[in-house]
Chains A and B, each alone.
Chain A
Amino acid sequence: MTKHHVKMTVNGEDRDILVEPRELLIHTLRDQLDLKGPHVGCETSHCGACTVDLDGKSVKACTMFTVQAAGKDITTIEGLGNPDALHVLQESFREHHGLQCGYCTPGMITRAHRLLQENPNPTEEDVRFGLSGNLCRCTGYQNIVKSVLAAASELNAAKEAAQ
């Protein structure tokens, strides 16, 4: 099958990738770019384990072709923070026990990150609705919601302090 060059920005880096037109974005990220944070859980867009940020929107990378991502700016969990400077959400999920097996966590945090951009002052209802595209089998969501709300407060406090 003919391969195509696809240029995109991933976690701030310009990438030029050779892919078959049918290759799914999740496989390009995981197998070609070695970004194994996003996971595959359902292949049907239901579970959200593969969630990445694409041009400022949450996208499920398991049901998008890589060629569709040409020219796009993608952020995965690996681009949100690093061991020396964790993202507030990464800290908050640990602090509030917002994860157990960890399989949904990268997608969940990546989605929560976008949710807090869309709505910096969410209510519990907003968070529950905003995360409803991401499934978790372990936590029952209660501590995930708590983690996201705590992260929102912390981000807002930091913003206020900066002003």
Chain B
Amino acid sequence: MKDEVTRDERVANLKGMGCARKRVEDARFTQGKGNYIDDINLPGMLHGDFVRSPYAHARVKSINIDAAMALPGVVAVLTAKDLEPLSLHWMPTLAGDKQMVLADGKVLFQGQEVAFVVAKDRYIAADAVELVEVEYEELPVIVDPFKSLQSDVVLREDLEPGADGAHGPRKHPNHIFLWEVGDKSATEAVLDEADVVAEEMVYYHRTHPCPLEPCGSVASMDKVNGKLTLYGTFQAPHVVRTVASLLSGIEEHNIRVVSPDIGGGFGNKVGVYPGYVCSIVASIVTGVPVKWIEDRMDNLMSTAFARDYHMHGKISATKEGKITGLWCHTTADHGAFDACADPTKYPAGFMSICTGSYDIPVAYLGVDGVYTNKAPGGVAYRCSFRVTEAAYFIERMIEVLAIELNMDAAELRRINFIKKEQFPYNSALGWEYDSGDYHTAWDKALEAVDYKGLRAEQTERLEAFKRGETRKLMGIGLTFFTEIVGAGPVKNCDILGMGMFDSCEIRIHPTGSAIARLGTISQGQGHATTFAQILASEIGIPADSITIEEGDTDTAPYGLGTYGSRSTPVAGAATALAGRKIRAKAQMIAAYLLEVHDDDVEFDVDRFVVKGAPERFKTMKEIAYASYNQAIPGVEPGLEAVSYYDPPNMTYPFGAYICVMDVDVDTGTADIRQFYALDDCGTRINPMVIEGQVHGGLTEALAIAMGQEIAYDEMGNHKTSTLMDFFIPTAWETPHYTTDHTVTPSPHHPIGAKGVGESPNVGGVPAFSNAVHDAFRPFGLRQSHMPHDHWRIWKIANGLGLHD
């Protein structure tokens, strides 16, 4: 057979790995035809809404639902008393704690769910919420985790005071756990002897992922068939099914969980929330579907805060700047219930990646988890389980150490980087970094921005400032971060006992197109586009002929979902390996069709060719057809494969970010005039999608560093519960970004990919924050807490005497 298409054309036709394939998702989204949770309306569906606590800490004396029930259109009002017979008034959290579904005797944070009203439409439900009469008796409020550990006020009266928690002994009724990693005494010995020690308290404030679409669910209990269908904003639909089964007693095969299109997740949609449980119970009680949709205030007040880590650090070095040790004690404010979304064995997530990109011989990390009267959490907001806290901590400590040593912070980083030849590198806190080439990336970044030129300009600006010619200081924010993503190996990573593998199942259709289903779920990352590219390169079927489906537990194989940048490292690996199984069977079929031995054919782009005779081949399309219509001895009909992938290690993406800003000392405004982001995420699947992820993550980092905050007053009143008060940058405030990359593949991943979605948020926050700090370094600023909004920057300037 004569082939008139060149090999390059065949490669291009696949739209496989490495090409900037346009997204297949976009057709429906640009035409308003997405299918998000609030778009799902089922016949006879009712609407649920919550009565929420106005107090941060109070006893619930009584709940009177009579007036609400008397309102026409109200079908039910559920309270903890109604859920108690089903044992659903409390539920387990992902962190081994338990959480009230509806207030059981007391409330522990403002906005807590007290009663669930079910009505014919959302307006009537909202009216009825106002008619539920709740009598409260106010209790003393604790919003400060340090005070909480000293207080006589017991927040969690449901816990036995002296009893161990899920992560060991509790030293106070408001204490959750102490988690320790590393060698404390050896680290302290090094610090005692060190030439130089820099010490600082670094606070990473409470914030919130705030995806544009809030959380919601639609539960539909089909009593005739005994089947529960649950649609919802779930980043981990399979885990939700397992949890729903364990909580409700409905057998897992009778539960179908569906994540439809999700309007952004960023960690907000990992947790299991009272609204989901109440919609299920309400559907069981009423026998019809029940929808629950958060409004923005509910979202910001009750579901999934992030961060709130008080990180006390000490870092030691020789006079020449070689780091000798790192010590960190973190006080972690978890709010009213420990609802952290972390793998079970890691109560502070992967905070122990806090040695960063540096070769630090000895280190210690201790984390105390504490209860306060704030919303429960915290989730990993666009990061892999506290990696962003860790990266912010070490990148601030490096800057403070540079001040202590009177050294350039870029040079300090360079002399302490883990060297290329040290990989795989075992960190002092127990991680095995898979691969990296930090020096190359750093040099490329510094050269790209003309670092020396920038420093010279900064010096000139400072002189001009001192002469009174300008009121703007220049800040250069440096960051070199290393992430730890792709959780994770089943031997040490699980969520509620489920190992953190992931999966892919592929079916090749007779005419040579395919469907692949995965255990993950896209929330904007473009999985339908990029996973098809991985597969196209692996099996030689064009990406345009491959449907990717996720999120329906009745059809997709079990997987742990999408968060912590784990989709590409884990499900992406499963996809490649399932593809290789398809290819192995295709090889046997091709050999049969070509009448040669299996070993005499080899894969070439989209076909198997006879070795040494490329004119003799069978395309994957032909092989697919043959698998359904030929009786091949020793080969089962059909062409399908499934792979469950248990990663041998995490992946460790890294990057170098540099932010340049002009800070006006009188107005407190910061004009970000340049932002350069170099990312190394290993093998690159779709550069267009990667760049988009970097832009988006940097903008979330901009928000967090420069203004976004979940704030409470002393009474536990939530001060930032609308988008009027909770900062989300617009196009106007967002700078233009320059992206760049190096490629250091992961040695243990089937295609060498490491994941990228969260890198820009992890690296971006310290880059913005370091730039603010750097602007004021000549005036003695060491540490000032985020967010660096105009008021706080003005206060820095004022505190340093720059307004005198």
Q: Would B723 and A135 count as touching, CB distance under 8 A?
A: yes
Expressed in whole angstroms, the Cα–Cα distance for A112 and B693 within the complex equals 22
A-B contact count (CB 8 A): 180
> With contacts A94-B22, A100-B264 known, what are 12 further pairs, Cβ within 8 A?
A31-B41, A37-B33, A44-B724, A76-B32, A94-B27, A97-B691, A99-B29, A102-B30, A103-B34, A106-B30, A140-B695, A140-B698
Within 8 A of A (CB), among B687-729: 688-689, 691-700, 722-724, 728
B213 within 8 A of A: yes
A42-B723 in contact (CB<8A): yes
Chain A 15-48 interface mask (CB, 8 Å, partner B; 1/0): 0000010110001001100011111111110110
Is B523 an interface residue when CB atoms closer than 8 A count as contact? yes
Interface residues as binary, A73-84 with B (CB distance below 8 Å gives 1, 0 otherwise): 000111001110
Instruction: Identify 19 residue pairs between A and B in the complex whose beta-carbon atoms are under 8 Å apart, listed by A's number.
Output: A20-B123, A41-B296, A47-B212, A78-B31, A97-B23, A97-B689, A97-B691, A99-B26, A100-B264, A101-B262, A102-B25, A102-B263, A103-B212, A103-B213, A132-B730, A135-B212, A135-B728, A136-B212, A138-B696
A100 near B30 with CB under 8 A, answer no
Which 7 residue pairs are nearest across A and B when measured between Cβ atoms? Answer: A37-B32, A102-B29, A101-B524, A103-B263, A140-B695, A140-B699, A100-B524
- Among the listed A27, A36, A37, A127, which residue makes an inter-chain contact with B731, where contact means beta carbons less than 8 Å apart? A127
What's the minimum C-beta distance from A79 to chain B, rounded to whole angstroms? Answer: 9
- Chain A residue numbers with a CB within 8 Å of B296 are 41-44, 47
Instruction: Give the residue name and chain of the A residue nearest to B526 (CB).
Output: A100
**B254 at the binding interface (Cβ < 8 Å):** no
Q: In the complex, which of the residues B38, B698, B724 contacts A46, with contact meaning CB atoms closer than 8 Å?
A: B724
A154 at the interface (CB under 8 A from B): no
Residues of the A chain whose Cβ atoms lie less than 8 Å from the Cβ of B699: 137, 139-141
**Chain A interface size, under 10 / 10 to 19 / 20 to 34 / 35 or more:** 35 or more
On whether A102 and B34 interact (CB within 8 A), knowing A43-B296, A44-B296, the answer reads: yes
In the complex the two chains form, is A109's CB within 8 Å of B723's CB? no
CB of A86 within 8 A of CB of B30, answer: yes
A142 and B295 form a contact (CB under 8 A):
no
Shortest CB-to-CB span from B40 to chain A, Å, is 10
Asked whether A137 lies within 8 Å of B728 as measured between CB atoms, the reply is yes
Pick from B36, B688, B732, B737: contact of A39, CB under 8 Å: B36
Within the complex, the shortest CB–CB distance from A134 to chain B, in Å, comes to 8
For residue B242, CB closer than 8 A to chain A, the reply is: no
Contact string against A for B residues 733-771, beta-carbon threshold 8 Å, 1 for contact and 0 otherwise: 010110000000000000000000000000000000000
Q: Give B residues with C-beta under 8 Å from A.
A: 22-23, 25-34, 36, 38-39, 41, 122-123, 210-214, 261-264, 266, 295-297, 523-526, 688-689, 691-700, 722-724, 728, 730-732, 734, 736-737
Which of A36, A77, A81, A100 is B525 in contact with, Cβ under 8 Å? A100
Residues of A within 8 A of B696 (CB): 100, 137-140
Let me know if A104 is at the binding interface, CB within 8 A.
Answer: yes
**Bound CA span A99–B693, Å:** 10
What's the least CB distance linking A47 to chain B, in Å? 6
Across the two chains, which residue of chain B brings its CB closest to A44? B722
- Assembly CA distance A139 to B262 (angstroms): 15
With a CB–CB cut-off of 8 A, which chain A residues contact B264?
100-101, 103, 137-138
